[in-house]
Amino acid sequence: MTKIIGLTGGIGSGKTTVAKYFEDFGIPVYIADDEARKIMQSSEIIIAVKDIFGDTVFENEKLNRAELAKIVFSDSLKLEKLNNIVHPAVKKHFEHWLLQHKNVPYVIYEAAILFESGSYKNCDLIITVTAPVETRIQRVLERDKTTRELISKRMDAQWTDEKRIPKSDFVIENTSIETTKFEIDRILKILKIKQKDT
């Protein structure tokens, strides 16, 4: 049976970079945030979002993600309502995706809110990616062309590394390419040993 390896970490920690490195080794990777973005374009989700948030988060009938982010990361209740729409749809999509990869020993499930959403319960192993807060902020500023204030709000809405680490099997401190690759190689060796033991 295919094992699910959860991959998580706070915004700007470098989860996607780590996920792509695993992908280079032939391990299928499911990026939950990317799939959520696609799912949020479906008519069913758009109707549900419009029902809660109204037309203010839409521009020419297209969802304005930046506007929606401003609202939900300033209001925990509204964030919860949005998650209640998106998470079940992502879960269903992942289950279908997993069936297409049932002949591989491992898959990576990458999600920023793996613990917060409860998705960690479906994982056999969990990897947390960490990085210093200021490093993370700078990465997101460069990547998303957003504001420091909005990044801080998103960080506040997520678990801290102090909460994630005790619940994780592996921790990758993503401060340099060399150390990150070294840690990933070490994890891959452990996974191969585990695979032989099963």
pLDDT, tens only, 68-93: 999 999 999 999 999 999 999 999 99
Tell whether 54 is in a known binding site.
no
Q: How far apart are CA 37 and CA 40, in angstroms?
A: 5
Tell whether 26 is in a known binding site.
no
Phi, psi of 136 (to 5 degrees): -65, -45
In this structure, how many other beta carbons lie within 10 angstroms of the beta carbon of residue 70?
Answer: 17
**pLDDT tier, 137 (very low <50, low <70, confident <90, very high otherwise):** very high
Q: Mind listing the pLDDT tens digit for each residue in 40-76? A: 989 999 999 999 999 989 988 889 988 999 999 999 9
Tell whether 12 is in a known binding site.
yes
Where does 3-38+92-197 sit in CATH, by number?
A: 3.40.50.300
Beta bridge partners of 8: 128
Tell whether 121 is in a known binding site.
no
Q: Where are the domains of the chain?
A: 3-38+92-197
Tell whether 152 is in a known binding site.
no
79-113: string of b/e by CB count within 10 Å (b at 16+)? bebbbebbbebbeebbeeebeeeeeeebbbbbbbb
Q: How far apart are CA 34 and CA 25, in angstroms?
A: 20
